[in-house]
Amino acid sequence: MSKHNSKIDHQNIHLLQHPLLSHSLSILRKKDTNAGEFRRLLSEMSRLMAYESSRDLKIKNIPIETPFEKMESPFICEDVTIVSVMRAGMGMLDGFMQMFPLSKVGHIGIYRDKFLNNTVEYYFRLPDDIEGNKIFLLDPLLATGSTVVAAIDRLKQYGVHEIRFHCLLASPEGLEILHESHPDVSVYCLSVERGMNEKGYLLPGLGDAGDRIYGTL
Ligand SMILES: O=P(O)(O)OC[C@H]1O[C@H](OP(=O)(O)OP(=O)(O)O)[C@H](O)[C@@H]1O
Ligand SMILES: O=c1cc[nH]c(=O)[nH]1
Ligand SMILES: [Mg+2]
């Protein structure tokens, strides 16, 4: 975990460090990176994040036949359900779906309403029978933590327990709040940011992720 923040040195926070991820993140942060490039890189980075966060998935040897002989070969034997927090989580979804082509996919639409000063859920759809699945939850940013906590509150109403939250950037405050509300949830992120501005945007950050993906600046 990040050296500069001992308060959030929780075992279940995984700081993914890889030159390919760091390089791409730097491009995403740049204010003149356009929406097309932002989308392309986010998708590519999501595949790498999925690779890193799935290292411990259970595998089981199953008999197969190669063109030459029979053997026992390892296959993933756990069900993964991917859940995207709209809008910005959609930018990570195709990368994860490519890595887990057999996974089911859920969607949660939540935004931070500036006037209500609260999160608003406008869509919720999970696949049936996902109790016991590993949930790979996607949203590029964790700022105040209210969105991810609201999303996980709802997921848990559906009996899912093993949740891995994937984001690019997280604030120290947001990580604390997430840990207080849901200490069982693992976080996979690329950077713990310095903090937030008065509007709840991460610093140094990358701006509003949804706006940057969809060009709604
Ligand atoms: O930790 P929080 O303070 O809750 O902020 C994080 C949320 O903010 C962004 O979504 P936003 O509300 O901008 O919605 P959008 O994806 O539709 O743009 C981001 O994608 C997270 O969902
Ligand atoms: O910096 C931030 C914080 C919350 N949501 C965003 O999209 N960006
Ligand atoms: Mg937004």
If one residue of 42, 90, 111 were mutated to test the ligand 1 pocket, choosing by the most ligand atoms within 8 A of its CB, it would be: 111
Per-residue model confidence (pLDDT) at position 143: 97
Per-residue model confidence (pLDDT) at position 43: 98
Is the shortest distance between the CB of 201 and ligand 2 below 6 Å? yes
Query: Which residue owns the Cα nearest ligand 1 atom 5?
Result: 143
Question: Residues near 45 by Cβ (< 8 Å), separated by ≥ 6?
Answer: 21, 24, 25, 28, 95, 168, 190
Per-residue model confidence (pLDDT) at position 7: 56
What is this model's ipTM?
0.96
Max distance between CA atoms of the chain, in angstroms, equals 66
| CB 104, CB 130: distance < 8 Å | yes
Q: Residue 60 Cα, ligand 1 centroid: separation in angstroms? A: 38
Per-residue model confidence (pLDDT) at position 115: 77
Total count of domains within the chain: 1
Per-residue model confidence (pLDDT) at position 2: 39
Domain annotation covers residue 1 = no
pLDDT category at 132 given cuts 50, 70, 90 is confident
Domain annotation covers residue 65 = no
Domain annotation covers residue 64 = no
Q: Residue 143 Cα, ligand 2 centroid: separation in angstroms? A: 6
ω into residue 204 within 30 of 0, thus cis? yes
pLDDT category at 123 given cuts 50, 70, 90 is very high
C-alpha angle with apex 108: 23 to 2, nearest 5 degrees? 35
Domain annotation covers residue 67 = no
Q: What is the average pLDDT across 130-143?
A: 95
At 148-200, the pLDDT tens digits run: 999 999 999 998 889 999 999 999 999 999 999 999 999 999 999 999 999 99
Q: Which domain holds residue 159?
A: 6-59+73-214
What string of H, E and C letters represents the secondary structure of 149-198? HHHHHHHHHCCCCCEEEECCEECHHHHHHHHHHCCCCEEEECEECCEECC
Region of poorest pLDDT, from 23-32, 125-134, 175-184: 125-134
Per-residue model confidence (pLDDT) at position 4: 44
Closest CA to 179 of 133, 145, 147: 145
Q: Residue 3 pLDDT more than 60?
A: no
The pair of structure tokens assigned to 205 is 């950050």
| CB 162, CB 152: distance < 8 Å | no
Give the C-alpha separation, 168 to 193, whole Å: 10
Domain annotation covers residue 149 = yes
Q: Residue 144 Cα, ligand 2 centroid: separation in angstroms? A: 9
Domain annotation covers residue 66 = no
Q: Which CATH number does the domain housing residue 196 bear?
A: 3.40.50.2020
Q: Residue 135 pLDDT more than 90?
A: yes
Give the C-alpha separation, 214 to 217, whole Å: 8
